[in-house]
Amino acid sequence: MNTTHYPSAHIFQSPETHTLSVVVDNEPGVLARVVGLFSGRGYNIESLTVSETEHEKHLSRITIVTTGTPMVIEQIKNQLDRLVPVHRVVDLTVSGKVLARELALIKVKGKGEARVEALRLGDAFRARVVDATTESFVFEITGKSDKIDEFVGLMGPLGLVEYSRTGVAAISRGPEAS
Amino acid sequence: MSRQMTGAEMVIAALQDQGVEVLFGYPGGSVLPIYDEIFKQEKIKHVLVRHEQGAVHAAEGYARSTGKVGAVLVTSGPGATNAVTGLTDALLDSIPLVCITGQVPTHLIGNDAFQECDTVGITRPCTKHNWLVKRIEDLPRILHEAFHVAKSGRPGPVVIDIPKDVQFATGTYHGPKNIQHKTYRPKVKGDMDAIRQAVQMLGKAHRPIFYTGGGVINSGPHASQLLRELVRTTGYPITSTLMGLGAYPGNDAQFLGMLGMHGTLEANMAMHESDLIICVGARFDDRITGRLDAFAPHAKKIHIDIDPSSINKIIKVDCPIVGDVGHVLEDMIRVWKSTQPDVDKKAIRKWWEKIDHWRARKCLAYRNSDEIIKPQYALQRLQEAVKGKDVYFTTEVGQHQMWAAQFLTFDEPNRWMTSGGLGTMGYGIPAAVGVQMAHPKSLVIDIAGEASVMMTMQEISTAVQYRLPIKIFILNNHYMGMVRQWQELLHGGRYSESYSHALPDFVKLADAMGGVGIRCEKPSELDAKIAEMIAVDRPVIFDCVVDPAENCFPMIPSGKAHNEMLFGETVEDIGDVIDEKGKMLV
């Protein structure tokens, strides 16, 4: 059963993934507003990162990866834009020049052949070892989300203990500000 | 102009500078400094309500009937949580309000102090914006910003949460001049290319219809005048949502009545068969559209709205125009006059013939009775009695609200106050208090149901205290009528908990509260008793005992399209009309 009130036309559109960059006033509660909007209206958040980017101007940049039909994505952008502390909403996916990266810290425990294999794979993925004991490593890896997915998947049988990801930070290519 | 003063003084100074004349509120521990300042001044009249929800609804009634920003003052904790229903109501109906809440002192925030609650957290999703003021330096700016945010763009409620120590602290007050928000700049002028395209579409249409809503009212009386001008210039039919009633004269030949779930046949059929819908300040709400995949299947759509997020939210439109209704209509009229579109007069004449054919069906007809008062008849008599009078109506929520929308006529904007989006039972009495405060000499009538009245009837006491002669016209059927109707339609007539077994004697109740009670049980007594109600210069509860079994028709059952309406006299076995899927819907 569909979750909207009435069978709606836009549920027949297929969902797309979009990366949105939202420039906001860095004031208390602004993240709660953005997150509350997503949960309150039933939108998806696949990844969300937020950090102050321009200290003097009190600006923060929130990067959100979300999925939805084109009509829902348009709604999300309009709803975000409507929030009072939001300066602008840029859909990096629509501009077609999105540069998106994520960082992960991955703890792997193991000895013998598995340990060597993990190190070798770490090399191949350009992961750095940032902590080591005789029976464990912590890798730091940067890249697109699917690269990190893949690396985490490979570490699974080699003694993966736990990992932490930053979520996606994104910006547009080229000289212009997005 | 900047002066040294305390936070509490700043609140009053800012309210005065913003032109607030009436403040609805309820005191408590954490707003006492502000109440102390209220005591020391005379410019702002404070209305002491009996419950904070009443304060917000009263401010809504005040705002909606004047076009000004409504002002509310409540205390922390329960004061703030009691205001939440009113704030949500105002958000859904786009009513500009500034609600000031007290908060425990900053050093106690987060300690579960007495009467502490996370007011900004709780009200975040039910306000347009809110602020917690932690420093006295921020207070003057936030106070003025709050008014700007509440009234500009798509209006809405805002909350300013002020800790008690900030109310006591001293700082420099600045007046409202040069207050410009950093980010919030709503667009009011429509895009001229889109407007030209819209006028072109308007000129080419064969079966056009104007579909107008509360946005026209919010845009101001000027927008209603422009709407009338455009509609008359084109000669096209017009229908309105519940929220938009009064923007166009209700008795004009071009007006088809309200549309939607309980709208008229002519309005809904015209929407269904139209080839162009001009949506002006409305939002394709689910009560309007019915089944979406069968909504206006042949129509192109123009959508004028100040809120970009209303556009393409539910219905994909062909020509969106983001802007204030007043500005956009003004441009449209100018373009129409300068381009003089070549309207296909024959097609429009044929369209009107079709509409007249639907009109002839007289969809609002009901079977009257000599024995028992039909609610529709009571409203028709009331309408007759107030003809030519300076009258404002508020309503509660339910059958009586729909009948009021169908059977009362509104010729001017800002005369009709009802809870449309949230559907808040108990809205009507406090809203009437607010309206009467703004218009002391006018006749203010709350069309009510006995169940709704029980939700906020303590505000009758407010009306008595401030000598507000509001008239509470109860269509008393002993049932939560709309619940009963749906139970009849959808749940096999099992009237689960929708009958009130222990209603008060409303005449005695009125008497006990210091008002006047009138009971009317026979159709023949109606005229005389209504006249008596109007003549009394005190709050009146009019207990109009009506047919308990009457249903509100026409009706588009849930999950059905505009051309699948039910009518009063034809419905015999109603249980089969709504299919399983329809029963899932609200």
Q: Is residue A143 part of a domain?
A: yes
Statement to judge: residues A88 and A125 lie in one domain: no
Statement to judge: residues A92 and A149 lie in one domain: no
> Is A177 at the interface with chain B, CB within 8 A?
no
A152 Cβ partners below 8 Å, 6+ apart?
A: A104, A106, A160, A163
Tell me the shortest Cα–Cα distance from B119 to chain A, in angstroms.
12
pLDDT at A7: 47
Give B183's pLDDT tier (boundaries 50, 70, 90).
Answer: confident
For chain B, the structural domain boundaries read 2-174, 192-359, 375-545
Statement to judge: residues A108 and A118 lie in one domain: yes
Domain boundary among A97, A127, A145: A97
Same fold? B2-174, B192-359: yes
Give A177's pLDDT tier (boundaries 50, 70, 90).
Answer: confident
| C-alpha distances in Å from residue B111, one per residue of B104, B131, B163 | 10, 20, 14
Query: Exposure of A134 by Cβ count < 10 A (0-12 exposed, 13-18 middle, 19+ buried)?
Result: exposed
How many Cβ pairs within 8 Å bridge chains A and B? Answer: 62
Statement to judge: residues A44 and A116 lie in one domain: no
Is A29 close to B128, i.e. CB distance below 8 A?
A: no
> Is B566 at the interface with chain A, CB within 8 A?
no
The overall average pLDDT reported for chain B is: 95
User: Domain containing A153: what range?
Assistant: 99-172
Number of domains in chain A: 2
Q: Which of B124, B290, B314 sits opposite A36 (nearest CB)?
A: B124
Is B132 close to A29, i.e. CB distance below 8 A?
A: yes
Statement to judge: residues A76 and A106 lie in one domain: no
Q: What is the CATH number of domain B375-545?
A: 3.40.50.970
- In chain A, the percentage of residues whose pLDDT exceeds 70 is 93
The whole-angstrom separation of Cα B98 and Cα B130 is: 10
Statement to judge: residues A85 and A134 lie in one domain: no
Kindly tell me if the per-residue pLDDT of B315 is higher than 60.
Answer: yes
pLDDT, mean of residues B461-472:
98
Q: Please, which residues 92-131 of chain B have a Cβ atom closer than 8 Å to chain A?
A: 120-121, 124-125, 128-129
Tokens representing B125?
Answer: 């999703």
Q: What radius of gyration do chain A's Cα atoms show?
A: 20
pLDDT digits (tens, 9 = 90+) for B188-213: 999 999 999 999 999 999 999 999 99
CATH number, domain B2-174, options 3.40.50.970, 3.40.50.720, 3.40.640.10, 3.40.50.300: 3.40.50.970
> Is A55 at the interface with chain B, CB within 8 A?
no
Q: Which of B120, B129, B183 sits opposite A87 (nearest CB)?
A: B183
Kindly tell me if the per-residue pLDDT of B122 is higher than 70.
Answer: yes
Q: Which residue of A has its CA nearest to B586?
A: A5
Statement to judge: residues A32 and A71 lie in one domain: yes
Is B309 close to A82, i.e. CB distance below 8 A?
A: yes
Kindly tell me if the per-residue pLDDT of B44 is higher than 70.
Answer: yes
| C-alpha distances in Å from residue B379, one per residue of B242, B385, B446, B478 | 17, 10, 12, 18
pLDDT at B560: 86
Statement to judge: residues A79 and A155 lie in one domain: no
pLDDT, mean of residues A14-31:
93
Statement to judge: residues A143 and A87 lie in one domain: no
pLDDT at A3: 39
Q: Which residue of A57, A74, A82, A91 is the best one to mutate when testing the B interface, meaning the one whose CB has the most B CBs within 10 A?
A: A82
ipTM for the whole predicted complex goes beyond 0.90: no
Among positive and negative, which fits the CA dihedral B219, B221, B225, B227?
positive
HSE-CB of A72 using CA atoms within 13 angstroms: 22
The whole-angstrom separation of Cα B421 and Cα B287 is: 9
pLDDT at A161: 97
Statement to judge: residues A63 and A125 lie in one domain: no
Give the closest residue to B62 by CA, choosing from B392, B326, B467. B392
Give the closest residue to B550 by CA, choosing from B472, B488, B473. B488
Kindly tell me if the per-residue pLDDT of A1 is higher than 90.
Answer: no
B91 and B156 in contact (C-beta within 8 Å)? yes
Kindly tell me if the per-residue pLDDT of B143 is higher than 60.
Answer: yes
pLDDT digits (tens, 9 = 90+) for B331-352: 999 999 999 999 999 999 999 9
Residues of B noted as catalytic: 52, 114-115, 164, 482
pLDDT digits (tens, 9 = 90+) for B505-556: 999 999 999 999 999 999 999 999 999 999 999 999 999 999 999 999 999 9
pLDDT digits (tens, 9 = 90+) for B248-290: 999 999 999 999 999 999 999 999 999 999 999 999 999 999 8
- Maximum average pLDDT range among A109-118, B555-564, B570-579: A109-118
Domain boundary among A67, A97, A127: A97
Q: Which residue of B88, B180, B184 is the best one to mutate when testing the A interface, meaning the one whose CB has the most A CBs within 10 A?
A: B184
Kindly tell me if the per-residue pLDDT of B2 is higher than 60.
Answer: yes
Domain boundary among A41, A76, A97: A97
CATH number for the domain harbouring residue A124: 3.30.70.1150
Give A107's pLDDT tier (boundaries 50, 70, 90).
Answer: very high
**CATH class of the domain whose range is B192-359:** alpha beta
Chain A residues within an 8 Å CB radius of B124: 29, 32-33, 36
Q: Is residue A72 part of a domain?
A: yes
Q: Is residue A166 part of a domain?
A: yes
Amino acid at position A147, single letter: K
CATH number for the domain harbouring residue A75: 3.30.70.260
Q: Is residue A178 part of a domain?
A: no
Chain A residues within an 8 Å CB radius of B293: 7-9
> Is B562 at the interface with chain A, CB within 8 A?
no
Statement to judge: residues A116 and A65 lie in one domain: no
pLDDT at B578: 64
Q: Which residue of B122, B185, B312 is the best one to mutate when testing the A interface, meaning the one whose CB has the most A CBs within 10 A?
A: B312
Tell me the shortest Cα–Cα distance from A69 to chain B, in angstroms.
12
Statement to judge: residues A131 and A166 lie in one domain: yes
Q: Is residue A104 part of a domain?
A: yes
pLDDT at A94: 86
pLDDT, mean of residues B241-247:
97
The overall average pLDDT reported for chain A is: 90
The whole-angstrom separation of Cα B88 and Cα B67 is: 19
Kindly tell me if the per-residue pLDDT of B3 is higher than 60.
Answer: yes
